[in-house]
C-alpha cells in the first residue's frame, strides 16, 4: 500500500477503505510514515471530510493502535468527561473533584493545549511538583484509593492520536469534524471509562462556530460511543466568551480553587454543575440531573469537593497547600490592571482572539516544541451584557514583560465590542445529544 496514493484519493474526495485508514493510522503510531505525509493526509481530510463509516473506522483504528486500558479493578461505574476545547474552560478541575466526592469514580485522561484552547494537563502542571504521567497500575490504584485521577495518555494508549494530535496543532487542521470526533473518541474508548459525558463547545472561541456544526459533532461522537457499547451523552455549551474569568494555566487553577471554595461562581460553576449532574446520572449515582446537581452543590458546600482536589494533587506529587494559599502558584513578573476606558455595555467577544492573546503571552504553544509559561495570562472580569464605566477594570494582565503586556492589552481591546444599549447575555447551553436524539434546554431538566 502506498501513502502517496492514499493521500491522492482523499485529496480528490474519495472514500477510503478501512484497510487504507488502518495503514495511515499504523504509520502514525509506528512513525513509519514521515510527518510531512501525515500532515498532508490531515489537510486532505480537513478539506474533503470523511463519511460516517470512514470516521468510525478511523476512530477504531486509532483506539486499536495501542493498548486499551482495563479499569475493571476499580469498583463502580467509571465516568469520564471531555471538552472539545475553549478559553478559560477549567470545568474539569471543578466537576471532577465534585463528582468523585459524590461517589462516582473519575478516571480521566486529558490532553494538552491545542491551538487557542487551553489543556487540562498544562493547567495541572502549573501546580508545583504535580505529575500527570502515571503508569496504568498507579492510575488504577489512585482511583481506587481516592476516587479521582487526571493524567495524560501514555505512549501505549492510542499512540497514533498522540502523533496526529500534535501535528494538527501546527498544521491548521484542528477544526475538522472527523479528526475531532476520532481523536476524542479513540482516547475515550481506549482509556477504559464505562460512561462518557462530552462537552461540545460552540461560538466565537470554539472549534465549532455554528450550532449546526456543534450538534453534528456531538451526534458523530455519540454514535461512535453507542456503536462501541458505551453510554454517552453530549451537551452543547456556549463559548461566545471565556467560560471562567481567568485565562492562563496557574490563573485557571486559582479560578477552579476559588469556585470549589465557594468564593466565586458564574458560568464556570454553572456549566460544571450541568456536566457533572449528567456524569452522576450515567454513573448511577443520581436518578435525574436535578438530583445530581443537588448532590454536587452539597459536596461543594461541605468542602468535600475541594478536599478531593487536594487529595488528587497530593497523590500526584503536587503541593496540596495551593488549595489553601493560591499565592503558592507561579506568579508573573508583570501584573497590570487595564481599565475599560469608555462607558457602555459589553456586546460581544472574539474569544479565539482572546485565547490567542494568552497563547502569545506564553500560556500556549505556537510550535510543538514551545515551553509554556504557567504564570502568564489575564483575568477578564467583564461578561457579555455587563455595563461598564471608563474607570472599571477591563482586565488584569499577568505577563513576562511590559512589551508582552502591551501587546496583550491591544489584542484584548480589539477582541471586545461595546454597545450603547443593553445586550442580552448568551445562553450557557444549547442542546443535549444522546442516542435518543437532540433536545433543547426547554425540553430537558438541566
Catalytic, 187? Answer yes
What's the 3-state SS for 228-246? Answer: CCCCEEEEEEECCCCCCCE
Question: Given 78, 82, 230, 254, which residue is catalytic?
Answer: 82
Catalytic, 175? Answer no
Catalytic, 63? Answer no
Question: Given 112, 187, 308, 430, which residue is catalytic?
Answer: 187
Query: C-alpha cell of 208?
Result: 465549532
| Greatest Cα-to-Cα distance within the chain, rounded to the nearest angstrom | 65
DSSP H or E run through 437: strand 437-439
Question: Given 116, 168, 201, 365, which residue is catalytic?
Answer: 168
As a whole number of angstroms, the distance between CA 117 and CA 207 comes to 9
Query: C-alpha cell of 302?
Result: 461541605
DSSP letters of 139-194? Answer: HHHHHHHHSEEEEEPPTTBSHHHHHHHHHHHHTT--S-HHHHHHHHHHHHHHTT-S
As a whole number of angstroms, the distance between CA 418 and CA 408 comes to 18
- Are 315 and 120 in contact, with CB atoms under 8 Å apart? no
Catalytic, 430? Answer no
Pairing of strands 195-202, 232-238: parallel
Burial class (CB in 10 A: 0-12, 13-18, 19+), 407: middle
Catalytic, 168? Answer yes
As a whole number of angstroms, the distance between CA 82 and CA 74 comes to 20
Question: Given 161, 169, 199, 223, which residue is catalytic?
Answer: 161
Question: Given 182, 183, 191, 277, which residue is catalytic?
Answer: 183
- Are 163 and 41 in contact, with CB atoms under 8 Å apart? no
DSSP H or E run through 323: none
The catalytic residue positions are 82, 161, 168, 183, 187
Amino acid at each position: 500500500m502506498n501513502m502517496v496514493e492514499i493521500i491522492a484519493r482523499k485529496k480528490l474526495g474519495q472514500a477510503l477503505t478501512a484497510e487504507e485508514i488502518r495503514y495511515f493510522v499504523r504509520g502514525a503510531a509506528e512513525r513509519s510514515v514521515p510527518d510531512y505525509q501525515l500532515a498532508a493526509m490531515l489537510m486532505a481530510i480537513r478539506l474533503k471530510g470523511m463519511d460516517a463509516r470512514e470516521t468510525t473506522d478511523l476512530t477504531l483504528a486509532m483506539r486499536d493502535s495501542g493498548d486499551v486500558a482495563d479499569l475493571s479493578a476499580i469498583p463502580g461505574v467509571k465516568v469520564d468527561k471531555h471538552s472539545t476545547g475553549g478559553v478559560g474552560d477549567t470545568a474539569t478541575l471543578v466537576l471532577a473533584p465534585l463528582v468523585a466526592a459524590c461517589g462516582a469514580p473519575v478516571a480521566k485522561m486529558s490532553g494538552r493545549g491545542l491551538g487557542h484552547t487551553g489543556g487540562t494537563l498544562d493547567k495541572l502542571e502549573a501546580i508545583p511538583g504535580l505529575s500527570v504521567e502515571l503508569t496504568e497500575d498507579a492510575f488504577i490504584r489512585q482511583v481506587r484509593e481516592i476516587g479521582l485521577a487526571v493524567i495524560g495518555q501514555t505512549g501505549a494508549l492510542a499512540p497514533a492520536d498522540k502523533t496526529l494530535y500534535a501535528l494538527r496543532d501546527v498544521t491548521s487542521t484542528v477544526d475538522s469534524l472527523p479528526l475531532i470526533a476520532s481523536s476524542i473518541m479513540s482516547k475515550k474508548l481506549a482509556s477504559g471509562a464505562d460512561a462518557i459525558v462530552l462537552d461540545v463547545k460552540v461560538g466565537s472561541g470554539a472549534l465549532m462556530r455554528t450550532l449546526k456544526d456543534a450538534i453534528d459533532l456531538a451526534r458523530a461522537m455519540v454514535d461512535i460511543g453507542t456503536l462501541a457499547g458505551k453510554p454517552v451523552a453530549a451537551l452543547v455549551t456556549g463559548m461566545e466568551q471565556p467560560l471562567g474569568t481567568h485565562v492562563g494555566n496557574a490563573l485557571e487553577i486559582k479560578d477552579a480553587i476559588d469556585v470549589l471554595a465557594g468564593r466565586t461562581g458564574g458560568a464556570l460553576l454553572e456549566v460544571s454543575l450541568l456536566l457533572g449532574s449528567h456524569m452522576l446520572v450515567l454513573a448511577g449515582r443520581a436518578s435525574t440531573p436535578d438530583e445530581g446537581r443537588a448532590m454536587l452543590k452539597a459536596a461543594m458546600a461541605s468542602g468535600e469537593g475541594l478536599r478531593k482536589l487536594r487529595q488528587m494533587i497530593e497523590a500526584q506529587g503536587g503541593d496540596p497547600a495551593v488549595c489553601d494559599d493560591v499565592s503558592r502558584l507561579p506568579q508573573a513578573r508583570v501584573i497590570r490592571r487595564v481599565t475599560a476606558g469608555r462607558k457602555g455595555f459589553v456586546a460581544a467577544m472574539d474569544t479565539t482572539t482572546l485565547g490567542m492573546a494568552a497563547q502569545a503571552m506564553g500560556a500556549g504553544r505556537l510550535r510543538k516544541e514551545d515551553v509554556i509559561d504557567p504564570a502568564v495570562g489575564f483575568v477578564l472580569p467583564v461578561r457579555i451584557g455587563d455595563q461598564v464605566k471608563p474607570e472599571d477594570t477591563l482586565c488584569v494582565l499577568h505577563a513576562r514583560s511590559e512589551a508582552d503586556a502591551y501587546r496583550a492589552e491591544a489584542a484584548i481591546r480589539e477582541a471586545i465590542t461595546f454597545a450603547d444599549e443593553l445586550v442580552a447575555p448568551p445562553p450557557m447551553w444549547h442542546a443535549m445529544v444522546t442516542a435518543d436524539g437532540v433536545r433543547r434546554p426547554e425540553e430537558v431538566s438541566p
